[in-house]
A and B are shown apart, each in its own frame.
Chain A
């Protein structure tokens, strides 16, 4: 296999090899990460029980389904973070990639995509335990499964592009952690990470529809654990495609100007 598919295949395999060497640390990381949705899940199930079994029509079983799918979607949308960009720029680690005839974005996309293979294998038993403990309610059609399989990669691509753009701000200033925190806070509230978007006030839910965040979290989760209409299913994929295109455009523009400012320090 040659060209970009060949590169993705080799880099992906490299990621699998590397991450299997760190399987214990990967597992511990995943267990730590599962704590977040479990806290949300316990809170919402408690509220649902207190309100007679449901919150705005979402039952305890629906919440369980939502947050169990959440754990898979979260694993799928782990990408190269802006914090990693700080190292890349401040220590000159980008230099090695810049002198090779492939855009560095491809390395990140391929590497983190390969990592997903390890992540999904490790996720299966965790999901099984969560299902036994929290009794999720699923009503899934084959079409929804197919759309979900596409949507989780759409989520991965959107988040990769957006965090790449955010990370590239480091070309201009290496102290941008506050900006990242702002982004992550907006994402937490408007993506469906903290709570299902159906529970947001109407104005916030509308804002979420027009922002990219929900297509990296809430939409793929709702495909499998929600009750989307056919139009919403396909409309979500179309929105994801649009955000991937916007993200790719932003990456191209910011990269073009940013890389000229690279000073290759520390190397």
Chain B
């Protein structure tokens, strides 16, 4: 497979000082400092093809952001191999930095006191973008992100959502071929999240850029990522499609029915779980879904029936809860 990102056995270990609480421990640490090794990333291997959008999922402290920082050249790996667009990121070659971008939800790339348009101009100079290309890309980004009215105001006067969209525009002016997006929708309202997701999808479609995205919002992942990499304790637990993730970690489906005559006891069909008023939901093993649904339809006057996989949040939670099973 042609790869935009190739990672093999990537590791990052931080050496952090530690001491017990209290004055005595403080004095002791003057003489002898104690350190602990934290294995933030412990052997990650992954390939991402050009134009592929991959969701990078995991709980806080799983190693997602550390991995992105190593892929973008911010951090030097302790060991392992990384190649992005044929470059070794830790060498921070200009040819590489000019072809990728890193967007962090809490990072402020724009100049605070001047309009975003002036910050865009700054990035034009940084990335040495020819004037005509710059204008074309800038206008396209402004249109796609619907920020025409905002880019002339000083950045400090923008709302978080407005500023984030302007940040994203600034980060993409040089048309990077690899996007590392770390929680790009954090803190945004639902509408702004949706627009930003639509924009990332459109950018990926138009420019064929590879995207590696971390997010705690499953809506981001479901909307953008046909493939997810689940990471915990610095190791990859799962790498595959969302549907496959659900199949692997959630062996159940939920059948929800609306009965013409409410009140029937459906506990004989599966585990009854909470449902909207007027409906009854039963959780059944996936392999038995069709048979149970058929029995329900045969035994009761059913006016409506739906079969659903569990929410992706629940699947992920299940994956982390059952880590040992996952690893096997």
Q: Which stretch, B107-115, B187-195, B282-290, touches the partner chain A?
A: B107-115
Q: Is the CB of A17 within 8 A of B114?
A: yes
From A97-105, A176-184, A216-224, A240-248, give the one contacting chain B: A97-105
Residues of chain A lying within 8 A (CB to CB) of residue B75 = 262-264
Q: Are A99 and B118 in contact (CB under 8 A)?
A: no
A262 to nearest B CB, angstroms? 7
The answer to whether the Cβ of B76 comes within 8 Å of any Cβ in the partner chain is yes
Determine the chain A residues whose CB is within 8 A of the CB of B107 once the complex forms.
95-96, 267
> Contacts A14-B118, A267-B106 given: A6-B128 contact, CB under 8 Å?
yes
- Distance between B12 CB and nearest chain A CB, rounded to angstroms: 10
The reply on B280 being an interface residue by CB < 8 A is no
A34 to B107, CA, bound (A): 37
B139 at the interface (CB under 8 A from A): no
Do A10 and B73 contact each other (CB < 8 Å), given the known contacts A2-B128, A18-B111, A263-B14? no
A51 within 8 Å of B (CB atoms): no
- How many chain B residues touch A (CB < 8 A): the figure is 33
With contacts A14-B118, A18-B114, A21-B113 taken as known, whether A100 is within 8 angstroms of B126 at the C-beta atoms is yes
B266 beta carbon closer than 8 Å to chain A? no
- B127 beta carbon closer than 8 Å to chain A: yes
Task: Out of A11, A96, A99, A264, name the residue touching B125 (CB < 8 Å).
Answer: A11
Q: Which residue of A lies closest to B119 (CB)?
A: A14
Complex contacts, B94 vs chain A, CB 8 Å = 101-102
B57: interface (CB < 8 Å): no
**A2: which B residues are within 8 A, CB to CB?**
125, 128
Q: Among the interface residues B92, B101, B125, B126, which one has the most CB atoms of the partner chain A within 10 A?
A: B125
User: Known: A100-B97, A101-B94. Is A7-B125 also a contact (CB below 8 A)?
Assistant: yes
Contact residues in B for A21 (Cβ distance below 8 Å):
113
In angstroms, Cα B121 to Cα A11, docked, is 9
- Chain A residues near B118 (CB, 8 Å)? 14, 17
Quick one: given A14-B111, A14-B114, A267-B106, are A99 and B126 in contact (CB under 8 Å)?
A: no
Instruction: Knowing A264-B74, A264-B75, A267-B107, say if A99 contacts B124 (CB, 8 Å).
Output: no
Bound complex: CA of A262 vs CA of B101, how far in Å?
19
Contact of A99 among B90, B97, B114 (CB under 8 A): B97
Closest chain B CB from A117 CB (angstroms): 15
Contact with A along B63-89 (1 / 0, CB 8 A): 000000100111110000000000000
Interface string of A1-27 (1 = CB under 8 A from B): 011001101110010011001100000
CB-CB under 8 A from B72, the residues of chain A are 99
Task: Given A10-B122, A264-B69, A267-B106, check contact A98 B128 (CB 8 Å).
Answer: no
Chain A residue nearest to B124 (CB atoms) is A10
Query: 8 Å CB contacts to B: which residues of A184-228?
Result: none
In the docked arrangement, what's the CA distance between A100 and B128, Å?
Answer: 11
User: In angstroms, how far is the closest chain B Cβ from the Cβ of A40?
Assistant: 34
**Complex formed: what's the CA distance from A18 to B112 in Å?**
9
Number of interface residues of A (CB under 8 A): 25
The answer to whether A102 touches B73 (Cβ under 8 A) is: no
A9 to B90, CA, bound (A): 29
Query: Are A262 and B125 in touch, CB under 8 angstroms?
Result: no
Q: Which of A86-119 contact B (CB under 8 A)?
A: 95-96, 98-102
Say whether B98 faces chain A, with CB atoms less than 8 Å apart. yes
Instruction: Give the chain A neighbours of B76 by CB distance below 8 A.
Output: 260
A21–B104 Cα distance when bound, in Å, is: 28
- When distances are taken between beta carbons in the complex, the residues of chain A under 8 Å from B124 are 10
Instruction: With A14-B111, A21-B113 as known contacts, state yes or no: A99 contacts B122, CB within 8 Å.
Output: no
Among B74, B100, B101, B114, contact of A98 (Cβ-Cβ < 8 Å): B74
- Complex contacts, B122 vs chain A, CB 8 Å: 10-11, 14
Q: Which of A59-104 contact B (CB under 8 A)?
A: 95-96, 98-102
Q: How far is the CA of A3 from the CA of B119 in the complex (A)?
A: 17
Say yes or no: A262-B128 contact (C-beta < 8 A), given A21-B113, A95-B104: no
Contact A99 B98 (CB under 8 A): no
Task: Tell me the bound Cα distance from A262 to B14 in angstroms.
Answer: 11
Return chain B residues, CB-CB under 8 Å to A22: 113
**Contacts A17-B113, A98-B74, A263-B75 known; 20 new A-B pairs at CB < 8 A:** A7-B126, A10-B122, A10-B124, A14-B114, A14-B119, A14-B122, A17-B114, A17-B118, A21-B113, A95-B74, A96-B108, A99-B101, A101-B97, A101-B98, A102-B126, A262-B75, A263-B14, A264-B69, A267-B104, A267-B106
Q: What are 25 A-to-B residue pairs whose CB atoms are below 8 Å? A: A7-B125, A7-B126, A9-B125, A10-B121, A10-B122, A10-B124, A11-B122, A14-B118, A14-B122, A95-B69, A95-B107, A96-B108, A98-B73, A99-B74, A99-B97, A99-B102, A101-B98, A260-B90, A262-B74, A262-B75, A263-B14, A263-B75, A264-B69, A267-B104, A267-B107
Closest CB pairs A-B (n = 8)? A101-B94, A101-B97, A10-B125, A7-B125, A101-B98, A18-B113, A264-B74, A6-B125
